[in-house]
């Protein structure tokens, strides 16, 4: 008995049109697949379409004896422009049969090989352009790859040059093509009657089609007027005869297929290249491994066609890129029209369909089938796509080029082109993101490409752009040359100061702030410091100036803008850094014991091992202790400057040159976040209890997330604190500040900006003062007695009086009004405003446009002054926003393990939390609830929650109780102030221990464990898990030592135990 095919309920007439986002249809379809499983049904345009996403179903519909391609939707609309071309022809169309037989030989191995030189010619144009623009140029990746692949197919297949790299704007073909693709896709979801009334849209559509057909017609006419014997695609169309019927292509078919190849021959390839470089930059280990392969196979000489078959790791990267992001993300099939099958079943009789019903294969989900690709299917792992493992994949589990007779005829062309271009680029450049925190966003027409993806290209090995072209065409490697431009930038114009390079790795902004502070201080020691990210220094660590490295660690991994540098450094051999003089300062958090300061220590050790000379011992700061800025100042004064032999003014960190303007007004906000709109802001706890809140946000267009991700919030300082600064500085509320350009600062420079904006959005007003800050405030004091009193605070009592009481520079300036510190020096003391990350407490399956966060509000008596209170910057900012307010946010991914398991139907889940650590698990459970509602059968889930009292701070109690009754999750509470209501368990780890006999078989069946809460919760749960393991081993008569228990625990942390611990 077949089972019903699930799907969202359809509306009368409109069907399921509102279940799809017209801007990003594929994202909507993938989300529906997450909700309903391997098959679901949608009614679109009055037609019931089936959507499949598993290898088992895909393997079935790829049987060409039963199923065939169906041209429908956007592809059918493209027929308005290219008729019955090879990709848009219906089954059985005569012109397709002729064109297919005539053109297949043009894509044979020898033909593709003969195109190599022309491919290389176009590729070198882009390489030379990027080299001449330099490493500061922001490259629009998809735009340049589009120009590259269009020029390549035009030259190789049709013998014409579009010369895209010699014009400012794209070739007219590109704009017309994008218009055709975009409008054809829109028409597929728009009632024809609506299109009838859209006159201007129709006019542009017709004009785009005319442009495309005109360009193709001109190319054909030019070749007919000036014939040659070149064995390319155009001559095959003009002169070729069908070996079966003796017919040639009609003029109409020639135009249709010329446009087909000009579009298909570059659009999907440019997308593949763009996704490939995104994946490589995002995954430094794969990047370095691939670059090493290219260096070993090709070296520094010219690339030849013989190299194309000798780069297996590159081909693995290409296959893995197409697995994760197939540029043609779906295709449609149907039962063969001549089939007599009745009734029609799929899935071995599991599902029944009717004849003519479209079946859409969703490649995004097919290529992530956990039964094929495992629990790490979301990760970029080229090793799984190397020749041997690739050959062992189940049939039809990798389908980016379509299926069978209707598969992509140009696959060999695209494959050679991507190998050539990628090898050429990595041979000569190093790449990094323009925005190190960039997360992949998709732009969709009928194909997909990365959206807003920009990168920088730096020439490797100090190659001089002037000599690059000679190197590209020479088989003799040239001597490497030092690029004078890169060296000269360290020295200011006409300045006698010595150069210094400061390199930082930072996600939250702390190390960047330290780097800017050090650059200002360096001026007092006779240095002109150049501040850049660590990734900018791959292959370019200078040997003619001191190099200061500042970095943090994130769960033992480098920051986003240091990942490539660390990978490059780890792969260096011998004494490659001999001659470099360096020093390292690291930032970490002691709560992450096993990875505390891992990256800074790695930098310090590896630099020395590779021959560099240490200027001073490593400096280390602990953000968990709250004193990292003072640690940094102390390291500078006692280690760094002594090591450099510098004689300077150690207190003379230069201020910021500011002009005050009270007559004009201008607002400038940070650009790394976008505006979300507050829907609601709800208090979750009872009166008198520590305040916990839940906010619902409408996300900005194009911003998406997964369960387990974070929402980064750029807060504003409390208005009371802003007014305190204005009062101290004697400024009116509408004062404007102009910060001199060229200043080492993260503040906006060179134009007026409101003092309220600077103080509210750009700096941390509550950051505790450093020892250096205290000394500088004392120096500005005109009264000797007061000066001595302030200086005393910088002495032995500094930790007690400043750090532990969290006294900020503002607290001191208010307390000692005779201190006459200039405003510019005060602002220079303040680190830039940091984003704060909160676990998202919702699921996009509930509503992809909505995200929620759940947090505790920090509002405690201030230790700095008895009458004041210490207000957490972000938590209080969020607590005050109201419905309709706009806040600045960005989605940040959590680490790979902190997401629901890939195989949710067979992998149980155990979640353990306390307080607002429940936030991500509310998202986990909400997603499960949506899936259960859709009819999916999930493995069981267990949620352990720690809180204070069942009636006062049990978060989402009614909602969770309802989900428990629906079989979505099983709940286990512990109440610290009412343990009699929780089996005597005060803490959440106590409840885990209490229920261990129930949990042991769950864990043994392959369950994944997730923990979220404070460091105390993380440590307590970890200790309990080890204790349960120890007890179980003892019961089996196999007692374990502490070392063996720890080894086991570290083992499960690699794939089955994920923790998110916060301060």
What string of DSSP letters covers 931-981? HHHTT-----EEEEEEES-TTTS-TTHHHHHHHHHTTS-EEEEEETT-GGG
Tokens representing 436 are 């190190």
What is the per-residue pLDDT for 485?
Answer: 38
The reported pLDDT for the residue numbered 671 is 45
pLDDT tens sequence across 383-435: 999 999 999 999 999 999 999 989 999 999 999 999 999 999 999 999 999 99
> How does strand 442-444 pair with strand 547-552?
unpaired
Q: How confident is the model at residue 472 (pLDDT cuts 50, 70, 90)?
A: confident
Spatial distance between the Cα atoms of 272 and 153, rounded to a whole number of angstroms: 15
912 three-state secondary structure? strand
* C-beta of residue 1003 within 8 angstroms of C-beta of residue 905: no
CA 591 centroid distance within chain? 26
Does 1062 qualify as catalytic in the annotation? no
The pLDDT, as a whole number, for residue 76 is 92
Residues 364, 813: Cα–Cα separation, whole Å: 58
Binding residue numbers for heme: 408
Higher-confidence position of 670 and 688 = 688
Separate counts of helices (H) and strands (E) for the chain: 40, 34
pLDDT surpassing 60 at residue 305: yes
Q: Given pLDDT bands bounded at 50, 70 and 90, which one contains residue 365?
A: very high
- 105-119, 185-199, 310-324, 1007-1021: segment of lowest average pLDDT: 185-199
List of domains in the chain: 17-82+327-366 (no CATH), 96-312+411-450 (1.10.630.10), 483-643 (3.40.50.360), 898-1062 (3.40.50.80)
**Angle, alpha carbons 351-354-356 (nearest 5°):** 130
Give me the pLDDT at residue 933, please.
96
Q: Which tokens in the block code for residue 1008?
A: 């994944």
Residues 795 and 677: beta-carbon distance below 8 Å: no
pLDDT band at 629; cut points 50, 70, 90: confident
401 is an active site residue: yes
How far is residue 1012's CA from residue 898's CA, in Å, rounded to a whole number? Answer: 10
Q: What is the mean pLDDT of the chain?
A: 90
Using DSSP's 3-state secondary structure scheme, residue 366 falls into helix
For β-strands 970-975 and 941-947, DSSP reports them as: parallel
- 630 pLDDT tier (thresholds 50, 70, 90): confident
**C-alpha to C-alpha distance for 363 and 380, rounded to whole angstroms:** 16
The binding site consists of 408
Tell me how far apart the 2 most distant CA atoms of the chain are, in Å: 106
pLDDT at 743 over 80: no
Alpha-carbon distance of 874 to 884, in angstroms, equals 18
pLDDT computed for residue 300 by the predictor: 87
Span 77-97, mean pLDDT? 93
State the catalytic residue, choosing from 156, 408, 947, 985.
Answer: 408
Confidence of residue 474 (pLDDT cuts 50, 70, 90): low
**pLDDT for position 486:** 39
pLDDT of residue 494: 44
Residue 109: both structure tokens together: 């191995």
Report pLDDT for 45: 84
Please name which of 605, 612, 486 lies closest in space to residue 546, comparing C-alpha atoms: 612
Compute the half-sphere exposure of residue 824: CA atoms within 13 Å on the CB side of its CA: 18
pLDDT tens for residues 697-719?
Answer: 999 988 999 999 999 999 999 88
Contact yes or no for 552/620 (Cβ under 8 A): no
**Cis status, amide bond into 343, omega within 30 of 0:** yes
Cα distance between residue 309 and residue 298, in whole Å: 12
pLDDT band at 476 (very low <50, low <70, confident <90, very high): low
Are 52 and 7 within 8 A, CB to CB? no
Q: Which residues pair with 778 in a beta bridge?
A: none
CB 440 within 8 A of CB 139: no
The verdict on whether 985 is a catalytic residue reads no
Confidence label for 925 from pLDDT (cuts 50, 70 and 90): very high
Q: Three-class SS string for 809-865? A: HHHHHHHCCCECCCHHHHHHHCCECCCEEEEECCCCCCCCCEEEEEEECCEEECCCC
Please report which residue ranges of 864-918 form alpha helices under DSSP H.
Answer: 873-880
**What is the average per-residue pLDDT within 1047-1062?**
91
The C-alpha atoms of residue 728 and residue 724 are separated, in whole angstroms, by 6
In the prediction, which pLDDT does 257 show? 92
Helix (H, G, I), strand (E, B) or coil at 887: strand
Average pLDDT over every residue of 972-988: 95
Parallel, antiparallel, or unpaired for β 909-914 and 330-335?
A: unpaired
Taking residues 174-179, what's their average pLDDT?
90
Query: Percent of the chain scored above 70 by pLDDT?
Result: 94
Of the residues 133, 189, 401, 870, which is catalytic?
Answer: 401
Calculate the CA 696 to chain-centre distance.
Answer: 23
Helix or strand holding residue 433 (H, E): strand 429-433
Which pLDDT score, from 0 to 100, does residue 251 have?
93
**pLDDT class for 669, splitting at 50, 70, 90?**
very low
Tokens read off for 335: 């039962």
Q: Which residues of 179-204 are buried (b: 16+ CB within 10 A; e: fewer)?
A: bbbbbbbbbbebeeeebeeeeebeee
Q: How far is CA 694 from CA 601, 609, 784, 852, 854, in A?
A: 39, 50, 51, 7, 4
State the Cα angle at 331 between 156 and 701, rounded to 5°: 95
> With 0-12 CB in 10 A as exposed, 13-18 as middle and 19+ as buried, what is 954?
buried
Whether residue 660 has pLDDT greater than 70? no
Around Cβ 760, how many Cβ atoms within 10 Å?
20
Output the CA torsion 763→766→767→768 (10° steps). 150
Q: Is the confidence at residue 867, as pLDDT, over 60?
A: no
Residue 488's pLDDT is what? Answer: 32
Token pair 């039964």 in the structure block, residue: 371
**Alpha-carbon span 436 to 278, nearest angstrom:** 11
Contact 69, 331 (CB under 8 A): yes
Please state the pTM of the whole predicted model.
0.86
- Write the pLDDT tens digit of every residue in 436-454: 889 999 999 889 999 999 9
Distance CA 914, CA 974 (A): 9
pLDDT at 263 over 70: yes
Q: Please write the tens of the pLDDT for every residue from 17-71.
A: 999 988 889 999 999 999 999 999 999 988 999 999 999 999 999 999 999 999 9
End-to-end CA distance of the chain: 55
Give the separation between CA 620 and CA 590, rounded to whole angstroms.
Answer: 11
Q: Which pLDDT tens digit goes with each residue over 538-572?
A: 999 999 999 999 999 887 889 889 999 999 999 99
In the Cβ-directed half-sphere of 471, how many Cα atoms lie within 13 Å?
24
Q: What pLDDT digit, counting tens, does each position of 9-23 carry?
A: 999 988 999 999 888
- Where on the phi/psi map is residue 983: left (φ > 0), alpha (ψ -120 to 50), or beta? left
Write out the two tokens for 883: 């419905």
Residue-wise pLDDT tens digits, 808-856: 999 999 999 999 999 999 998 998 888 899 999 999 999 999 999 999 9
Name the catalytic one among 142, 268, 770, 954: 268
3 state SS of 105? helix
The pLDDT assigned to 459 comes to: 93
Q: What is the pLDDT of residue 1047?
A: 94
How far is it, in rounded angstroms, from Cα 844 to Cα 862? 39
Separation between Cα atoms, residue 760 and residue 719, nearest integer Å:
8
């Amino acid at each position: 008995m077949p089972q019903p095919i699930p799907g969202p309920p359809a509306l009368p007439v409109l069907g399921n049109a509102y279940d799809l986002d017209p801007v990003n249809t594929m994202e909507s379809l993938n989300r529906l697949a997450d909700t309903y499983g391997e098959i679901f049904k949608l009614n679109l345009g009055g037609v019931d379409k089936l959507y499949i996403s598993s290898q088992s179903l895909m393997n079935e519909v790829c049987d060409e004896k039963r199923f065939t391609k169906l041209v429908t939707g956007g592809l059918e609309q493209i027929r308005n422009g290219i008729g019955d071309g090879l990709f848009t022809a219906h089954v059985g169309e005569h012109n397709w049969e002729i064109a297919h037989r005539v053109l297949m030989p043009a894509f044979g191995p020898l033909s593709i090989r003969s195109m190599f030189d022309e491919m290389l010619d176009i590729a070198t144009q882009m390489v030379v352009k990027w080299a001449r623009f330099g490493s500061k140029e922001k490259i629009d990746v998809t735009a340049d790859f589009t120009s590259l692949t269009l020029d390549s197919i035009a030259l190789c297949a049709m013998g014409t040059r579009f010369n895209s790299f010699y014009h400012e704007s794209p070739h007219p073909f590109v704009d017309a093509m994008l218009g055709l693709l975009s409008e054809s896709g829109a028409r597929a979801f728009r009632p024809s009657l609506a299109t009838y009334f859209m006159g201007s849209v129709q006019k542009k559509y017709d004009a785009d089609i005319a442009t495309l057909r005109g360009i193709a017609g001109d190319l054909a006419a030019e070749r007919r007027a000036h014939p040659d014997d070149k064995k390319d695609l155009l001559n095959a169309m003009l002169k070729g005869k069908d070996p079966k019927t003796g017919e040639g292509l009609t003029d109409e078919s020639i135009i249709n297929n010329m446009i087909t190849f000009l579009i298909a021959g570059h659009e999907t390839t440019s997308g593949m290249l763009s996704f490939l470089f995104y994946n490589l930059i995002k995954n430094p280990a794969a990047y370095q491994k691939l670059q090493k392969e290219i260096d070993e196979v090709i070296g520094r000489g010219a690339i030849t066609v013989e190299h194309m078959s000798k780069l297996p790791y590159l081909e693995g990267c290409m296959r893995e890129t197409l697995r994760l992001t197939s540029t043609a993300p779906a295709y449609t099939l149907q039962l063969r029209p001549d089939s007599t099958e009745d009734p029609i079943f799929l899935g071995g009789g599991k599902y029944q369909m009717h004849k003519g019903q479209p079946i859409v294969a969703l490649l995004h989900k097919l290529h992530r089938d956990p039964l094929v690709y495992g629990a790490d299917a979301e990760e970029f792992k080229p090793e799984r796509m190397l020749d041997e493992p690739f050959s062992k994949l189940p049939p039809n589990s990798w389908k980016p080029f379509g299926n069978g007779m209707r598969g992509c005829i140009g696959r060999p062309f695209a494959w050679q082109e991507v190998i050539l271009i990628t090898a050429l680029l990595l041979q000569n450049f190093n790449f990094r993101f323009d925005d190190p925190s960039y997360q992949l966003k998709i732009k969709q027409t009928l194909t997909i490409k990365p959206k807003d993806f920009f990168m920088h290209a730096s020439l490797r090995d100090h190659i001089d752009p002037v000599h690059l072209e000679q190197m590209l065409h020479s088989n003799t490697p040239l001597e490497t040359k030092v690029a004078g431009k890169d060296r000269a930038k360290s020295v200011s114009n006409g300045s006698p100061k010595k150069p210094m390079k400061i390199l930082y790795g930072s996600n939250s902004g702390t190390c960047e702030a330290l780097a800017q502070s050090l650059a200002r201080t360096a001026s007092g020691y006779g240095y002109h410091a150049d501040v850049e990210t660590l990734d900018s220094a791959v292959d370019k660590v200078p040997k003619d100036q001191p190099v200061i490295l500042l970095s943090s660690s994130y769960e033992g991994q480098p920051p986003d803008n240091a990942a490539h540098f660390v990978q490059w450094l780890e792969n260096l051999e011998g004494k490659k850094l001999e001659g470099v003089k360096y020093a390292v300062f690291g930032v970490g958090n002691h709560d992450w014991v096993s990875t505390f300061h891992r990256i800074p220590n790695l930098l310090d050790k590896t630099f020395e091992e590779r021959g560099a000379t240490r200027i001073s011992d490593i400096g280390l700061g602990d953000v968990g202790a709250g004193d990292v800025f003072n640690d940094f100042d102390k390291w500078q004064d006692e280690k760094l400057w002594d090591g450099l032999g510098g004689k300077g003014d150690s207190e003379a960190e230069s201020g910021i040159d500011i002009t005050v303007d009270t007559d004009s007004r201008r607002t400038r906000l940070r650009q790394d976040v976008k505006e979300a709109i507050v829907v609601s802001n709800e208090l979750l706890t009872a009166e008198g209890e520590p305040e916990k809140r839940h906010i619902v946000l409408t996300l900005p267009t194009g911003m998406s997330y997964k369960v387990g991700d974070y929402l980064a919030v750029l807060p504003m300082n409390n208005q009371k604190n802003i007014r305190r600064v204005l009062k101290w500085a004697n400024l009116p509320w509408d004062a404007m500040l102009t910060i001199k350009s060229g200043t080492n600062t993260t503040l906006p420079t060179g134009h007026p900006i409101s003092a309220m904006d600077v103080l509210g959005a750009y700096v941390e007003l509550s950051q505790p003062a450093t020892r250096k800050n205290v000394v500088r405030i004392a120096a500005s004091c005109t009264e000797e007695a007061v000066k001595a009193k302030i200086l005393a605070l910088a002495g032995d009592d500094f930790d007690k009086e400043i750090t532990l009481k969290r006294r900020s520079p503002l607290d001191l300036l208010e307390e000692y009004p005779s201190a006459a510190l200039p405003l510019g020096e005060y602002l220079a003391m303040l680190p830039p405003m940091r984003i704060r990350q909160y676990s998202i407490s919702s699921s996009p399956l509930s509503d992809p446009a909505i995200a929620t966060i759940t947090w505790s509000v920090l509002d405690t008596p201030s230790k700095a002054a008895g009458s004041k209170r210490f207000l957490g910057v972000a938590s209080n900012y969020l607590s005050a926003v109201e419905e309709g307010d706009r806040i600045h946010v960005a989605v940040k991914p959590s680490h790979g393990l902190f997401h629901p398991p890939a195989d949710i139907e067979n992998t149980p889940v155990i979640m353990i939390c306390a307080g607002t650590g429940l936030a991500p698990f509310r998202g986990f459970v909400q997603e499960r609830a949506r899936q259960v509602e859709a009819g999916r059968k999930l493995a069981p889930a267990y949620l352990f929650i720690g809180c204070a009292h069942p009636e006062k701070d049990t978060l989402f109690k009614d909602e969770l109780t309802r989900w428990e009754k629906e079989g979505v999750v099983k709940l286990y509470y512990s109440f610290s102030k009412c343990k009699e209501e929780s089996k005597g368990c005060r803490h959440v780890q106590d409840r885990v221990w209490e229920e261990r006999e129930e949990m042991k078989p769950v864990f043994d069946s392959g369950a994944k464990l997730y923990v979220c809460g404070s460091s105390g919760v993380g440590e307590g749960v970890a200790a309990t898990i080890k204790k349960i393991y120890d007890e179980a081993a003892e019961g089996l008569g196999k007692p374990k030592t502490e070392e063996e228990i720890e080894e086991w625990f570290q083992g499960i942390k690699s794939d089955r135990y994920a923790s998110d611990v916060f301060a």
